[in-house]
């Protein structure tokens, strides 16, 4: 396992597909506070690969909200929408382990007997055994995604582990939990899993401090780091803020935006008090 870069660099990487809420404030402040305490730097990355949902006005709101919280970061800010060349290079390196998948949403909904870590059906490999001629013919007339042949990839790798500051011992990676995961989407050309691994390496991220809801993703990220010969950061998966119903704060749940708190008179210190973070 390659060790992370010696300078301590963390990152906060929101998607501009909605307004930031208290959960984002918690993660952002944890990252920036932790970087300061470690004598390092926290960078900002805009994860805007999903062009169907990301909006310039939401990106502008991210900058405004973070500045209001008293945060600043080095320029320029990395935007995933400008990183297609890097993602294509990674896909080219992985190409012997990739295959095109032509299955539509209805087929995927019925696929597999098991479930991946997010509860979605595991892909049963319907397109995995298509001949090269059939693949090429269908690629000319049908949209497709690129899937990782997880068994072949797993067979190439030794036992993989990662260090998590929330765990007492190194964690054994089990990427097979994800099945043949999609690494390039039909409408985007990459995926969260591929983009985040490539970008963490490009920004020399030494510590990834993110929510517990992304813990399971680290299993597949660790495999991709090995396959792409990239360093493995030190991880820390923090607890999630939840509402009165016990549900995690989320844009999809219409959690109260930071700017609404601000418009109602809250100060940055009030926000820190609400989420249980004192001034560093």
Answer yes or no: are the C-beta atoms of 239 and 212 closer than 8 Å.
yes
Average model confidence (pLDDT) for the chain? Answer: 92
Grade residue 242 by pLDDT with cuts at 50, 70 and 90: confident
Structure tokens at 91: 């896909």
pTM above 0.85, yes or no: yes
pLDDT of residue 80 exceeding 80, the answer is yes
Q: Which residue has the tokens 């992304």?
A: 214
DSSP H stretches of helix in the chain: 22-37, 56-68, 84-94, 105-109, 132-139, 150-156, 192-202, 217-227, 258-263, 268-275
pLDDT of residue 118 exceeding 60, the answer is yes
pLDDT of residue 4 exceeding 80, the answer is no
Q: How far is the C-alpha of 209 from the C-alpha of 237, rounded, in Å? A: 6
Q: Any idea which of 43-47, 52-56, 107-111, 275-279 has the lowest mean pLDDT?
A: 107-111
Q: Which domains, and CATH codes, for the chain?
A: 1-82+241-280 (3.40.50.620), 85-197+215-228 (3.90.800.10)
Please report, for the chain, how many H helices and E strands are present, in that order. Answer: 10, 10
pLDDT in tens, 206-226: 999 999 999 999 999 999 999
Grade residue 107 by pLDDT with cuts at 50, 70 and 90: confident
pLDDT of residue 155 exceeding 60, the answer is yes
SS3 (DSSP) at 253: helix
């Amino acid at each position: 396992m390659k060790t992370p870069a010696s300078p301590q660099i963390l990152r906060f990487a929101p998607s501009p597909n909605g307004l930031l809420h208290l959960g984002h404030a918690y993660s952002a402040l944890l990252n920036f506070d932790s970087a300061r305490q470690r004598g390092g730097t926290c960078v900002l990355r805009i994860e805007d690969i999903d062009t169907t949902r990301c909006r310039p006005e939401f990106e502008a709101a991210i900058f405004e909200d973070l500045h209001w919280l008293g945060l600043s970061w080095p320029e320029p800010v990395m935007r995933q929408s400008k990183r297609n060349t890097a993602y294509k290079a990674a896909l080219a390196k992985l190409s012997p382990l990739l295959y095109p998948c032509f299955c539509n949403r209805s087929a995927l909904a019925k696929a597999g007997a098991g479930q991946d870590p997010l509860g979605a059906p595991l892909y049963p490999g319907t397109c995995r055994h298509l001949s090269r001629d059939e693949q090429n013919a269908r690629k000319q007339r049908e949209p497709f995604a690129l899937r990782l042949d997880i068994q072949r990839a797993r067979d190439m790798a030794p036992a993989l582990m990662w260090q998590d500051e929330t765990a007492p011992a190194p964690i054994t990676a089990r990427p097979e939990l994800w099945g043949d995961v999609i690494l390039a989407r039909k409408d985007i050309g990459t995926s969260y899993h591929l983009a985040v691994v490539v970008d963490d390496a490009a920004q020399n991220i030494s510590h990834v401090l993110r929510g517990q809801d992304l813990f399971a993703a680290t299993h597949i990220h660790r495999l991709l780091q090995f396959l792409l010969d990239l360093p493995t950061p030190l991880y820390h998966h923090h607890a999630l803020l939840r509402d009165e119903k016990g549900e995690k704060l989320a844009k999809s749940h219409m959690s109260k935006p930071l700017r609404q708190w601000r418009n109602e008179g809250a100060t940055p210190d009030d926000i820190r008090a609400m989420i249980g973070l004192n001034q560093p």
